[in-house]
Structure 1
């Protein structure tokens, strides 16, 4: 534990149990400060768990503050999150609850989450699922997103879904040749898709999602939005299921 974190925890512990004036070290004489320091050191040596308790209390407060901030961000950006007019909508479009995922095709945790989300959609026929293309892991990520968005624009949502699922299970380098091969397996109009990749409409979709992610302070993938809550990072099936049921009870 760093000295800074230890000091923060210590001050937090005393703030929870002492008047504010008791922490005004500047109001103490040198002798009083030395005595106070010795007493604090002695207490902590005898009760080291206090530091961990104070750190935990501080982390809990920070988590609560982050959750409240996320709630407000989701509320302020509802339309862009849940109804942007261009993102893929799968599962049950008329479902009673919506899961939104910001993802990247080169993100290992996104690939891991893919199976969990698919399991949720298969086991629960009342989930609306939205995919936000958020390529942040380099040129291969951008290439993949451009290709699948172009496929959606040229061939429709089913073509997007086929390529999306294939890429979430794909572990090689993402090149144009690889994307063309995937497209061919689904008998898509690969030439038309490639011709659309650098169109302004594709660029605009990616730019709008990036702007939304910045507004929501999303810096990593996967990030999920469920009802009024942001879930930052991978979550296993059971945990996601529990969160869905909790939100449905609101």
Structure 2
């Protein structure tokens, strides 16, 4: 990734040192000489590569955040109030945090502690769990069991979520075992899993992720902002506090 970025940066710098019609203005020998000058300059000033890398990353991040804000504004109801999503914390909380997660995401497993810290320290937070299976067939199968479980026993969904996410690799068999421990039979799960709806709900999550620029888990939506990656409870709590104060993640 960095090698490609630096290569792009080198080309940009070389282009900047040449007139717009350089292809017509310079001979092959002159172009080689210009390239050698640029190369020698960058070898003597390697810190410029880092500056160019940082500038490019900043520009890309700003573009990503702008896309996410447009996506949030266009999909608020489906993000924050999808009828099939369940939450932990205060169901009437003044601030809603939405987490896109996959049951086989190691970062999500560690971020579950952040969720617990947030809901315990913020009685006005509603923490929505957006099922987003992106890590292969086992994840899709585990989430299908989870979808059935939340339809059958929504009051136990928080327990199910913590148990399945907090353990070993999640697949259909393990998800069913977790559900059975919480009192839901395999027959009941199979019957619920046979009903239509799961694919449409997953497609909703995929579409939202595309609109928001989300490509990995965990990712969050708070207020008017999408947050990418396991940024930690402190960073999320600061954004929650800002939303409570001014309605935006940055006041």
Q: Please report how far the alpha carbon of residue 99 of structure 1 lies from its aligned counterpart in structure 2 after TM superposition.
A: 0.9
The corresponding residue for 1:198 is 194
Question: 1:131 maps to what in 2?
Answer: 129
Alpha-carbon distance between aligned partners in 2 of 1:10 and 1:172, rounded to the nearest angstrom: 43
CA distance in 2, matches of 1:12, 1:190: 59
Candidates 170, 174, 182, aligned match of 1:186: 182
Aligned match of 1:85: 83
Question: Could you tell which deviates more after superposition, 65-74 or 228-237?
Answer: 228-237
Deviations 1:215-247 (A, max 9, x none): 434332222111111122222222222332344
Aligned match of 2:22? 25
Total equivalences in the alignment: 244
Stretch moving more, 24-33 or 158-167:
24-33
CA distance in 2, matches of 1:29, 1:201: 63
Aligned with 2:72 (options 71, 74, 87): 74
Structure 1 unpaired stretches of 5+: none
Please say if residues 146 and 198 of structure 1, whose CA atoms lie closer than 8 Å, have aligned partners that are also in contact. no
- 2: CA distance between counterparts of 1:205 and 1:241? 28
Query: 1: CA distance between counterparts of 2:111 and 2:45?
Result: 42
Are the structure 2 counterparts of residues 42 and 80 from structure 1 closer, same or farther at C-alpha, using a change threshold of 3 Å?
same
Cα distance, 1:174 vs structure 2: 2.9
Q: Distance in 2 between matches of 1:69 and 1:93?
A: 29
Q: CA deviation at 1:113?
A: 0.9
Aligned counterparts of 2:32 and 2:133: Cα–Cα separation in 1: 55
Matched with 1:228 is: 224
Deviation at 1:72, TM superposition (A): 0.7
2:136 equivalent to 1:145 = no
Distance 1:232 1:104, change over 3 A: same
Aligned residue for 1:40, secondary structure, equals: helix
Change (3 A) 1:78 1:38: same
**What is the TM-score of this pair, normalised by structure 1?**
0.84
- 5 Å matches for 1:21-170? 22=19, 24-30=21-27, 33=31, 36-155=34-153, 157-170=154-167
Unaligned runs of 5+ in 2: none
What's the CA shift for 1:24? 4.0
CA 1:172 to 1:43, structure 2 compared with 1: closer, same or farther past 3 Å? closer
Change (3 A) 1:99 1:47: same
User: Counterpart of 2:234?
Assistant: 238
Find the partner of 1:174 among 171, 180, 184.
Answer: 171
Quick check: 1:208 aligned with 2:196? no
Q: How far has the Cα of 1:58 moved from its partner?
A: 1.7
